[in-house]
Structure 1
Amino acid sequence: MLKQLLGVIDAAANHEDLQELLLHRPVAALPFAGRYRLIDFALSSMVNSGIGSVAVFPRGSYRSLMDHLGSGKNWDLNRKRDGLFFFPPMEVKDNDFRGTGCFAHFAENLDFFYRSTQEYTLVSNSYTVINDDLRTMLDTHQKYGCDITEVYKNGKALNIYLLKTSLLIDLIENREDTGYRSLDDVIDDFSSPYTSCRFEYKGYAEQVDSIKSYYKISMDLLNPTVWHTLFKKEQPVFTKVKDEPPSHYYKGSSVKRALLANGCKVRGEVENSIISRGVSIGQEAIIRNSIIMQKSQIGENCILESVILDKDVKVEPGTILIGSPQNPIVIGKGSVVQPTAAKASSLLAL
């Protein structure tokens, strides 16, 4: 049944409240949960539901996203027929990128939709952390004769849509006449001629659209109930595979209530934190309530609390960084943090 579905991921979102983490990447490529990127959740949900043709529509700074997705092999989408497609924009104006599913962006690749044989199209954003079952959604859509079905969680719209491919093509082609720039516009227009339905999703679903939400949702994963609700054995979340050795916990180290990816070297103390691949933590260092991204190096006798370190950050020995859950300290990719600068940052956070 799900061979009727075409997958489309809108990876063009650019949340202002996330800019500190989006200087070198789109939100779709934002590292999450130690070894994943945000796009992995929408993409894995589609693949686990039997969708074999997925198109990704990014915007700017998409090199890291291309590197992550590659040929689609890790999602079984490197196929001769259908598979993974990547469509960067060419001449789309900035003000056309409003809402989920930019019709002007889709119009540049209209031939892709014409060639698709799937009767229905699922359009998803790239920043919703969800591991859903699309079969029930399609059943509901067909049962009630809906034109467009949108996914909701606890009454909140998740900007994930299901509609016939022919209707999507019609909306793209007639965007100048209707004034609709995206699927959000269609749903928000109460005078729209289309029948819209709500699909209330029962599982775990959260949207990352700010530093605060990114930090909170990441910390929620340390709750085993939340983790097992999102990461299901029968419906895994796929990501780019990297061959690295297991993490090494040296004598005297301590790790409590934390997620650690492979390739880490831990000599200090880690508590209630998420540590990505290849991170080095020095002796007597203390990491609490923090998110440490790939290949960051934390020196000896450092104290980090409520901190988000982007990739490849080097924290010099003796540095103290103390933020708060409401206002975590964010250190940009590739930064070198000296003890004197760190004390000023800690005071500002307080």
Structure 2
Amino acid sequence: MRAVGIILAGGSSRKMHELTAKRAAAAMPIAGSYRAIDFALSNMTNSHVQKVAVLTQYNARSLNEHLNSSKWWDFGRKQGGMYLFTPTITTDNSNWYRGTADAIYQNLDFLKRCHEPYVIITSGDAVYKLDYNKVLEYHIAKKADITVVCKDLEPTDDATRFGTVRMNESARIEEFEEKPMVAHSQTISTGIYIIRRRQLIDLVEHCAEEERHDFVTDILIRYKNLKKIYGYKINSYWSNISTVDSYYQTNMDFLKPEVRNYFFRELPSVFSKVSDLPPAKYNPGAVVKNSLVGSGSIINGTIENSVIFKKVFVGNNCVIKNSVILNDVYLGDNTYIENCIVESRDTIRANTRHVGENGVKVVVEKNERYAL
């Protein structure tokens, strides 16, 4: 493909509270056995993008461990490949990434050494499938300077979490508001952009000269009347996991047959790092209804409408309803969990009860599981 990929995976999400206290949002587990960044990486390789840069910063250890081998997404090749960039102290700069535009600016040498004429920029915390080739064809046909992938939300959805756009009849973006107090449009930016590589280099360098650091505010919104910025609408599944509620709902969506089939059974496939774990074990008396259970788990109790990740132990007489249990959790006997997200590596003591009364409850227990 005639494009190089950039995945912005260095941000933190304060609205995710305890869930991002020890990992980046792009490293959040999804659907039993995936990470959020797997979807962007899979879209890149399925679109035949041969060279991809992942920009990490906040709590990057877990994300770096997940990306320690590029072969899982078919980037282990002689030409191209996957590049991991973290903030680096140089003679000219000793700052952390101060924004999305600054993150690209600090790694501008990578873009200057590339030969591909276009750049695909995307975030690492969205769950979706997209053929970037179709967006690039649209971008070229429109003779656009920048193309923004957009989606129409339902009238009941909260658009103020996103950048809202308004387009004219030819799909050119006339208004762009980043996280407005009051949304005047239900059409949002998905955080996926296509731009010519040389133009991106010029715009980012110009931003740096003026001490501006944000790609959306300082490039898209600032240049919307000077550059030809077009919107490309998608109608397929797309979800951003930047809040506790949206993360919970995204995992719950995978319990719907149509969503599960779309991601798991329809081509192109979604790839992830494979763990060498045995299949889930269901002991006598275990009852599981409409749930996803990850490999390496041992189930003794009752599970309904829940997503259970890898290496989870569910004790005797446990009841789990409408919950998300992250990796390597131990649930003691007679535990009751409902409307909760249980943080990874937690040990929930026997005979305890956690219920999300007013929305989703995040359960974080700092119990020591192993005695000295």
Of 214, 230, 233, which aligns to 1:182?
214
Report the CA distance between 1:80 and its aligned residue: 2.5
Match of 1:96 in 2: 98
Report the CA distance between 1:176 and its aligned residue: 3.5
Match of 1:341 in 2: none
* 1:201-280 aligned within 5 A: 201-280=234-313
- Residue 323 (structure 2) pairs with residue 327 (structure 1): no
Report the more deviating stretch, 169-178 or 304-313: 169-178
For 1:216 and 1:60, the matched residues in 2 are separated by 24
Match of 1:164 in 2: 196
- Letter of the 1:259 counterpart: L
Match of 1:58 in 2: 56
Match of 1:133 in 2: 131
For 1:17 and 1:92, the matched residues in 2 are separated by 28
Report the more deviating stretch, 236-245 or 190-199: 190-199
For 1:171 and 1:305, the matched residues in 2 are separated by 49
For 1:92 and 1:139, the matched residues in 2 are separated by 39
Calculate the aligned-residue CA RMSD, in Å: 1.8
Report the CA distance between 1:135 and its aligned residue: 1.6
Of 289, 305, 312, which aligns to 2:322?
289
Q: Secondary structure in 1 aligned to 2:303?
A: strand
Answer yes or no: is the 8 Å Cα contact 1:21–1:310 preserved in 2.
yes
Report the CA distance between 1:9 and its aligned residue: 0.2
Of 330, 341, 352, which aligns to 1:308?
341
Q: Do the aligned partners of residues 295 and 191 (structure 1) sit closer, same or farther apart at CA in structure 2, a change above 3 Å counting?
A: closer
Report the CA distance between 1:337 and its aligned residue: 9.7
TM-score, normalised to structure 2, is: 0.85
- Letter of the 2:206 counterpart: N
- Letter of the 1:260 counterpart: V
- Residue 62 (structure 2) pairs with residue 72 (structure 1): no
For 2:54 and 2:356, the matched residues in 1 are separated by 36
Match of 1:109 in 2: 107
Q: Deviations over 1:49-91 (max 9, x none)?
A: 1111100001121011110011211011122221000110135
Of 45, 48, 53, which aligns to 2:46?
48
Q: Deviations over 1:151-205 (max 9, x none)?
A: 1111211111001111111112211346652331222226542110000012110
- Letter of the 2:249 counterpart: K
Q: Secondary structure in 1 aligned to 2:350?
A: coil
Q: Do the aligned partners of residues 231 and 335 (structure 1) sit closer, same or farther apart at CA in structure 2, a change above 3 Å counting?
A: same
Q: Which runs of 5+ in 2 are unaligned?
A: 153-186
For 1:143 and 1:50, the matched residues in 2 are separated by 20
Q: Secondary structure in 2 aligned to 1:138?
A: helix
Match of 1:27 in 2: 25
Q: Secondary structure in 1 aligned to 2:32?
A: coil
For 2:212 and 2:135, the matched residues in 1 are separated by 24
Match of 1:336 in 2: 367
- Letter of the 1:114 counterpart: K
Answer yes or no: is the 8 Å Cα contact 1:203–1:229 preserved in 2.
no
Q: Do the aligned partners of residues 73 and 191 (structure 1) sit closer, same or farther apart at CA in structure 2, a change above 3 Å counting?
A: closer
Q: Secondary structure in 2 aligned to 1:7?
A: strand
For 1:118 and 1:71, the matched residues in 2 are separated by 24
- Letter of the 1:110 counterpart: L
For 1:68 and 1:161, the matched residues in 2 are separated by 25
Match of 1:83 in 2: 81
Q: Secondary structure in 1 aligned to 2:199?
A: helix
Answer yes or no: is the 8 Å Cα contact 1:253–1:267 preserved in 2.
yes
Q: Secondary structure in 2 aligned to 1:174?
A: helix
Answer yes or no: is the 8 Å Cα contact 2:317–2:335 preserved in 1.
yes
- Letter of the 2:335 counterpart: C
Q: Secondary structure in 2 aligned to 1:336?
A: coil
Report the more deviating stretch, 268-277 or 128-137: 128-137
Match of 1:343 in 2: none
Answer yes or no: is the 8 Å Cα contact 1:27–1:127 preserved in 2.
yes
Report the CA distance between 1:230 and its aligned residue: 3.2
Answer yes or no: is the 8 Å Cα contact 2:105–2:208 preserved in 1.
no
